[in-house]
Amino acid sequence: MSVFKEITFASSYIARRRNSNSPGACNRPDCQIGGGKLLYEFIDKNKFRKIIDFGTWGGGSVICAAQALQKSSAASNRTLKFDLYDQGYSALVTDAMTAINKNDTWKLHDEVAIPDLIGEIKVFDKFWDNEGQNGNMEAVLRNLQEHQCYQNIQFTFRKVDMWDWLKNPEPFDLLHVDIHNTSEKILTIVHALEEQINAGAVVLFVGGALRFSHAPFGQCINEDGVDVSHVMTSLGDPDNYRRLKATGLDFTILTQEYPGIICIDRRARETLVWEQL
């Protein structure tokens, strides 16, 4: 049986702490701080198969989602007949960036050769390059190889702005939104996807849920003893939480640990496979 493998590459949050010469800088791994295993378990238990990830950076959340899908793949004894990485991932990066720079969609697997893929993760980002907070194609493909979670799962890469995508969103089971979320942006996204959410699609928003009901704003509350209040720009401020709550939006906090995850899920309660933390 497939077992969740913790993500071990440095996170963008940690990179920002280092660049700021903060005494609180640390070496803790990405997506392991509260959200990675939770995302893996949430996908596994709810059997999502069409997943969209916005704001992927180095692919931490994509890897967690892929491991959950791979668990189902292993259970069904499906295996690929070839290894895409035989020639290394540099050729794949070149192919992907060539397509993406033409505003085309690039897929990791040939669906004609492999018609029985177990699921699909669409990896979307506004920018794809090797710097800063933008999507890093080389890092994503390298990390997928390192964690061995690319077989029997289709990965679709595209350069797309969240707000352009919302004008004509495709169907999905789970949408993972890891952008600069604010209460206003969350409401805009939920309202734009109202029809899909009401039909059973689930949306996860990443960022800042840890502040409310966890400790007074401004205290050093994360596991490293670092005061993150000045960099948490979404629900990190209790006022943002209260503003969102006042709208009547039916969201649930799945975790208050960094980076925090809130969930929009309107499926019937009897079909919800999740024990709220």
DSSP string, 196-221: HHHTT-EEEEES-TTSTTTS-TTS--
Mean pLDDT of the chain: 75
Looking at residue 131, its pLDDT comes to 62
Lowest mean pLDDT among 66-70, 74-78, 172-176, 260-264: 74-78
Domain tally, the chain: 1
**For residue 145, how many other CB atoms are within 10 A of its CB?**
16
Q: Is residue 3 part of a domain?
A: no
Q: Is residue 175 part of a domain?
A: yes
Mean pLDDT along residues 67-80: 66
Mean pLDDT along residues 228-243: 55
Q: Is residue 154 part of a domain?
A: yes
Q: What is the pTM of this model?
A: 0.80
Question: Would you put residue 47 in left (φ > 0), alpha (ψ -120 to 50) or beta?
Answer: left
Q: Is residue 86 part of a domain?
A: yes
What residue type is assigned to position 2 of the chain?
S
Do the beta carbons of residue 150 and residue 84 sit within 8 Å? yes
Domain that holds residue 196: 12-271
Q: Is residue 204 part of a domain?
A: yes
CATH (domain of 82): 3.40.50.150
Question: Would you put residue 31 in left (φ > 0), alpha (ψ -120 to 50) or beta?
Answer: left
Instruction: Give the span between the Cα atoms of 181 and 186, in whole angstroms.
Output: 6
Q: Is residue 5 part of a domain?
A: no
Q: Is residue 225 part of a domain?
A: yes
Q: What is the pLDDT of residues 74-121, one digit of tens each?
A: 545 555 545 666 666 788 889 999 999 999 999 998 877 677 788 999
Lowest mean pLDDT among 15-29, 75-89, 120-134, 157-171: 15-29
